[in-house]
Chains A and B, each alone.
Chain A
Amino acid sequence: GESVGLHLPTLSVQEGDNSIINCAYSNSASDYFIWYKQESGKGPQFIIDIRSNMDKRQGQRVTVLLNKTVKHLSLQIAATQPGDSAVYFCAEISTGYSTLTFGKGTMLLVSP
């Protein structure tokens, strides 16, 4: 499928490395944040979420960190695998709304 990753920042890692993808969000009123993975030719796929009253949440091989002071999110992927290669987006939702505002995205390339 056609790539969604043209002109995006790229993070290249080796299989087995840990990956950290960063995101700056825009709205200090946002209270819910989501990381999505988007593979070529597919729609965004939910990875992990975090509410604004938390600063860390862990899933299977993934951890999200939230720093509200500097409006920064990060996604940590442990033991990165070739199947993790995709474009990763953070998204935010503000109180009282149910629409997503997406960040710019990062392409993750994992070499075997």
Chain B
Amino acid sequence: DAGVTQSPTHLIKTRGQQVTLRCSPKSGHDTVSWYQQALGQGPQFIFQYYEEEERQRGNFPDRFSGHQFPNYSSELNVNALLLGDSALYLCASSPQRRSGYGYTFGSGTRLTVV
């Protein structure tokens, strides 16, 4: 049973560019959450998707947007990249009916903005 898969694993972008990160949830999970983890910090909540809609959002600017597809997979888009967006981006999936339980994290995408 595959867990949460994220792609790509590493990415280097130039300041001002746009980036799209992808996540496939664990089988049986329908809720996807995205987190940003700066070096030496704990993950910070970006937003959560369920039934193809953004359900909750953390304290991130509108440059961060997302999407969930009918097969529950999700994308995170970041526009107008800043140097400070360099971080590990984690996707976590969970079964919505057990809200807060059963979180499974992917290994993340390491984004470097130069």
Chain A residues engaging chain B, CB cutoff 8 angstroms: 2-8, 32, 34, 36, 41-46, 49, 89, 91, 93, 97-105
Interface residue tally on B, bucketed by range: 20 to 34
Chain B residues engaging chain A, CB cutoff 8 angstroms: 4, 31, 33, 35, 37, 39-45, 48, 56, 58, 88, 90, 92, 94, 96, 99-101, 103-108, 110
**Chain A at the B interface: mostly helix, strand, loop or mixed?**
loop
* Minimum distance in angstroms from A51 CB to a CB of chain B: 10
What is the total of A-B residue contacts with beta carbons within 8 Å? Answer: 69
Q: A102, B108: Cβ atoms under 8 Å?
A: no
Question: In whole angstroms, what is the CA distance A4 to B88 when docked?
Answer: 9
Closest to A44 in B: B105
* B37 contacts across to A, CB distance below 8 A: 4
* Minimum distance in angstroms from B96 CB to a CB of chain A: 8
Question: In whole angstroms, what is the CA distance A62 to B31 when docked?
Answer: 28
Q: B110, A2: Cβ atoms under 8 Å?
A: yes
Q: A32, B43: Cβ atoms under 8 Å?
A: no
Q: A99, B90: Cβ atoms under 8 Å?
A: no
* B107 contacts across to A, CB distance below 8 A: 41-43
Q: B43, A100: Cβ atoms under 8 Å?
A: yes
Question: In whole angstroms, what is the CA distance A21 to B95 when docked?
Answer: 29
Question: In whole angstroms, what is the CA distance A86 to B20 when docked?
Answer: 29
Q: Given known contacts A97-B56, A98-B33, what 19 new A-B pairs fall within 8 Å (CB)?
A: A4-B40, A6-B39, A7-B40, A32-B100, A32-B101, A34-B103, A36-B105, A41-B107, A43-B108, A44-B43, A44-B105, A93-B100, A98-B56, A98-B99, A98-B100, A99-B58, A100-B33, A104-B41, A105-B40
